[in-house]
Structure 1
């Protein structure tokens, strides 16, 4: 159950981050940031 919640939060973060950035470089940084957050939670 906790993994599903974390996955949903990570997916939401990725979607929000991707929609907020305007460049490919910014998208890469946002995805890397979201991945790091997920790694810290797991």
Structure 2
């Protein structure tokens, strides 16, 4: 049972890392789009 819980926790942690990376990319892209809009 402990092994199953550990594997589940690791899976959630890894998926959360990917989600956070995706949000970081989205925020970066939005910032660049705003910066480009202000430059025009």
Q: Where do 5+ consecutive residues of structure 1 fail to align?
A: 24-42
State which structure, 1 or 2, has the greater radius of gyration over its C-alpha atoms.
2
1 CA distance for matches of 2:25 and 2:35? Answer: 16
RMSD: 1.2
Q: Where do 5+ consecutive residues of structure 2 fail to align?
A: 1-14
2 CA distance for matches of 1:15 and 1:21? Answer: 10
In the other structure, the counterpart of 1:5 is 19
Higher percent of residues as helix: 2
The structural deviation recorded for 1:5 is: 0.3
Q: Deviations over 1:1-42 (max 9, x none)?
A: 00000000000000000010145xxxxxxxxxxxxxxxxxxx
| TM-score, structure 1 as length reference | 0.49
